[in-house]
Structure 1
Amino acid sequence: MSFLDVIPHALFRMLSSSAHVRNVAVLESIFEQFFDDFAFAPKRAEVLQVIRQVLDNPDFRTIADDDEVNPSPETAEHIVYGRLRDDGWIMEVANRKATEVYMPREAHALLSALITLKEELTIDISAEASLIDSGILAAYQDPAGKVMNIASARRQTVQLRRSIDGVLTSLHRIEEDLMRSDGLADLLTKFMERFVEKLLLENYRALKASAYNPMRFQRSIQTNTERFLNDEGQIARAAMALADQRLVPDVATAQVQIAQDLTRIRDVFANLGEKLDVIDRFSHKLERRIATTVRYQETGRNIREERLRDAIRLAFAQWSAGNVECVSPLVEIPVPYSTATLALPKKAREPVEPQTRQPKAVDPADVMREQMVDAYAAAMDVTRHAVAERMRTVVPDDGGFFDLDHFEPESARDIAILYEARAGALAANPEFEIRKSSSRNPNRFVSGPGLLVRRREGKT
Structure 2
Amino acid sequence: MLFTHLADDLFRPLASPSRAFNAALLLHLHRRVMGASVEPIRKGELLAAIGDFAAGWTLGQIADDEAIPVDPVERRSALYRRFTESGWLVERRERYVPVVDFDPEARLLLEELSRIERGETRSYGGAVLDVLGSLESAVANPGERSEALSNAAKAAHTFLGHVRSLAGSMRKIEERILREDDLRAAFRLYFEDFVERHLISDYRTLHTRFNPFRFRSAIVREAGQALRDSLLIRALADSLLREGRAPDLAAAERAVRLDLAEILAVFEGLDRHLEVVDDIVARMERRIAAAVRYMDRPDSLGIERTAAALRAVGAAPEPPDLPAGLSLLRPPIGEAHLYGPRQRRAPVTVEAMPELVLDPAIEAFVNAKAEFRRRTTVTPETIVAFLEVKLGRAPAIRGSDIPVADVDEFVIFQRLREIDVLFDGHLMERYALSRAEGRVSNGWLECPDFTVERRGTGPETKTKPTSKTKTKTGTPAAPHA
- Contact persistence 1:89–1:104 (CA under 8 A): yes
TM-score (norm 1): 0.58
RMSD: 3.9
Query: What is the CA-CA distance between 1:269 and the residue it aligns to?
Result: 0.8
Superimposed CA distance per residue, residues 420-453 of structure 1 (whole angstroms, 9 cap, x where no aligned partner): xxxxxxxxxxxxxxxxxxxxxxxxxxxxxxxxxx
After superposition, residues 127-276 of structure 1 pair within 5 angstroms as: 127-182=126-181, 185=183, 189=187, 193=191, 197-198=195-196, 203=201, 205-209=203-207, 213-276=211-274
Aligned residues: 312
Supply the distance in 2 between the matched residues of 1:195 and 1:75 (Cα, whole angstroms).
37
- Per the alignment, residue 53 of structure 1 pairs with 52
Q: CA deviation at 1:73?
A: 0.8
2:63 aligned residue: 65
Q: Distance in 2 between matches of 1:34 and 1:291?
A: 42
Inter-CA distance 277–84: structure 2 relative to 1 (3 Å threshold): same
Q: Deviation at 1:196?
A: 7.7
SS at match of 1:178: helix
Aligned residue in 2 for 1:389: none
In structure 2, distance between residues paired with 1:120 and 1:140: 34
After superposition, give the CA deviation of every residue in 1:343-376 in whole Å (9 maximum; x if it has no partner). Answer: xxxxxxxxxxxxxxxxxxxxxxxxxxxxxxx995
**Residue matched to 1:345:** none
Query: 2-side partners of 1:272 and 1:249: how far apart?
Result: 33
SS at 1:101 equivalent: strand
For 1:41 and 1:375, the matched residues in 2 are separated by 67
Q: In the alignment, is the contact (CA less than 8 A) between 2:40 and 2:101 conserved in 1?
A: yes
Q: Does 1:13 align with 2:12?
A: yes
Structure 1, gaps ≥5 residues long: 308-331, 333-373, 380-460
Q: Counterpart amino acid of 1:102?
A: D
Change (3 A) 1:41 1:377: same
How far is 1:133 from its partner?
0.8
Deviates more, 1:227-236 or 1:280-289: 280-289
Cα distance in 1, alignment partners of residues 41 and 185 from structure 2: 50
Q: Decide which structure has the larger Cα Rg and report it.
A: 2
Equivalent position SS for 1:117? helix
User: Do 1:225 and 1:262's aligned partners in 2 also have CA atoms closer than 8 Å?
Assistant: yes
The 3 A distance-change label for structure 1 pair 217 and 68 is farther
Letter in 1 for 2:175: E
- Do the aligned partners of 2:51 and 2:73 also contact (CA within 8 Å) in 1? no
2:28 & 2:149 partners in 1: Cα distance? 34
The alpha-carbon distance between structure 1 residues 32 and 173, as it changes in their structure 2 partners (threshold 3 A), is: closer
Instruction: Please give the alpha-carbon distance, in whole angstroms, between the structure 1 residues aligned to 2:251 and 2:127.
Output: 28
Residue 144 of structure 1 deviates from its aligned partner by 2.4
User: How many Å apart are 1:128 and its aligned residue?
Assistant: 1.4
- Equivalent residue of 1:121, what SS? coil
The alpha-carbon distance between structure 1 residues 60 and 204, as it changes in their structure 2 partners (threshold 3 A), is farther
1:9 CA drift (Å):
3.7
> For the Cα contact (< 8 Å) 1:228–1:235, is it kept in 2?
yes
Partner Cα distance (2:57, 2:209) in 1: 40
Q: Secondary structure at the match of 2:235?
A: helix
Deviation at 1:120, TM superposition (A): 5.9
CA contact (8 A) 1:229 1:262 kept: yes
Q: TM-score, normalised by structure 2?
A: 0.55
Partner SS for 1:122 = coil
Contact 1:54–1:60 (Cα < 8 Å) also in 2: no
Task: Give 2:101's aligned amino acid.
Answer: Y
Which segments of 5 or more consecutive residues in structure 2 lack a partner in the other structure?
309-349, 356-481
Distance 1:93 1:188, change over 3 A: closer
Counterparts in 2 of 1:245 and 1:76: CA distance versus 1, 3 Å: farther
Match of 1:402 in 2: none
Alpha-carbon distance between aligned partners in 2 of 1:297 and 1:49, rounded to the nearest angstrom: 47
Pairwise mapping of residues 318-329 of structure 1 onto structure 2 (< 5 A)? none
Q: CA deviation at 1:174?
A: 3.2
Letter in 2 for 1:112: E
Determine if the alignment matches structure 1 residue 126 to structure 2 residue 114: no
Aligned to 1:28: 27
Counterpart residue number, 2:88: 89
Q: Distance in 2 between matches of 1:96 and 1:297?
A: 65
Q: Could you tell me how far 1:86 is from its partner in structure 2?
A: 0.6
Q: Distance in 1 between matches of 2:24 and 2:352?
A: 66
SS in 2 for 1:163: helix
Instruction: Specify the SS of the correspondent of 1:102.
Output: strand
Residue 295 (structure 1) shift: 8.4
Give per-residue Cα distances to partners, 1:174-230, cap 9 Å, x unaligned. Answer: 3322332437x4697468636885478763633525776342111011011112222
Please tell me the residue identity of whatever aligns with 2:268. Answer: A
Q: What is the match of residue 39 of structure 1?
A: 38
- For 2:100 and 2:186, the matched residues in 1 are separated by 51
Q: What amino acid does structure 2 have at the position aligned with 1:106?
A: E
Cα offset, 1:238, TM superposition: 1.9
Indicate conservation of the 8 Å contact 1:44/1:99, yes or no. Answer: yes
Distance 1:204 1:378, change over 3 A: same
The Cα of 1:40 is off from its aligned counterpart by: 1.8
Provide the C-alpha distance between the structure 1 equivalents of 2:185 and 2:99, rounded to a whole number of angstroms: 54
Q: Which moved more, 1:231-240 or 1:288-297?
A: 288-297
Q: 2:110 aligns to what?
A: 111
2:53 is paired with a residue whose SS is helix
Does the aligned pair in 1 maintain the 2:87–2:103 contact within 8 Å?
yes
AA partner of residue 13 (structure 2): M
